[in-house]
Chain A
Amino acid sequence: EAQVTQNPRYLITVTGKKLTVTCSQNMNHEYMSWYRQDPGLGLRQIYYSMNVEVTDKGDVPEGYKVSRKEKRNFPLILESPSPNQTSLYFCASSSRDGVRSPLHFGNGTRLTVT
């Protein structure tokens, strides 16, 4: 089954403790992206990747890192999480880019930073 898999689904952590949210897709998609969803703000793009070893900042990249060493994986790294990064995070992929081909989303990771 074609899917985007994010782990974990729920994560509670404390300020400053490094964490990684994993994202993997099995569709051989070139484009992958991370979004955060906050009430009243919709989805905002954090980082995206057009292909292996090619990443770029989205609209809200501060406090986040990503890497794309393999085509299928696109982990999101929070080196020193802060409470304002409490949010619902989505990973997405598409065959071409974020516009000309549909995005396929994971089921989300709800992060709470205390």
Chain B
Amino acid sequence: AQSVTQPDIHITVSEGASLELRCNYSYGATPYLFWYVQSPGQGLQLLLKYFSGDTLVQGIKGFEAEFKRSQSSFNLRKPSVHWSDAAEYFCAVGAYNTDKLIFGTGTRLQVFP
């Protein structure tokens, strides 16, 4: 069965610092992988997705993520965090032969000035 693990519940960084949010998945074949962001009081918004091809994918708001099959990981990165990036981030995995998306438990990002 598919599963997603986000090991970090809460991360705090200073504005301008680099960021890496971890995501590990469990799935037998190549999964479809996603990162969504939830700003306070808002619904979730897609940041980026990986289906196939280049393992480094670029998303909106300056985010990128790298698919590493050997590590079953899809970590989200940003070289320089802005205060407006404070939000909750969800990694999600889907299987090509299903219509179900499995979400991780989320990582709450706090940004200090």
Contacts and interface: CB of A to CB of B under 8 A. Distances in A.
A102 B49 contact: yes
Contact of A4 (B43, B95, B96, B106): B43
Contacts of B42: 107-108
A102 B46 contact: yes
A91 B72 CA distance: 29
Contacts of B34: 102
Interface string A74-114: 00000000000000001010000111101101111000000
Given A100-B32, A102-B49, A103-B46, A43 B103 contact: yes
B43 A108 contact: yes
A43 B37 CA distance: 12
B99 A50 contact: yes
Nearest to A91: B43
A102 B36 CA distance: 10
A99 B99 contact: yes
A102 B101 CA distance: 10
- Label chain B's interface by main secondary structure: loop
B37 to A, nearest CB: 11
A45 interface: yes
Interface residues of A, number: 24
Nearest to A40: B105
A90 to B, nearest CB: 6
B104 to A, nearest CB: 6
A99 B98 contact: yes
Interface centre among A35, A42, A106 (most CB of B within 10 A): A42
Interface of B: 9, 32, 34, 36, 41-46, 49, 51, 90, 94-96, 98-101, 103-106
7 contacts: A40-B105, A58-B100, A97-B99, A99-B94, A99-B99, A100-B96, A107-B41
Shortest Cβ-Cβ A-B pairs, 8 listed: A105-B43, A99-B94, A97-B99, A42-B105, A43-B103, A102-B46, A105-B44, A42-B103
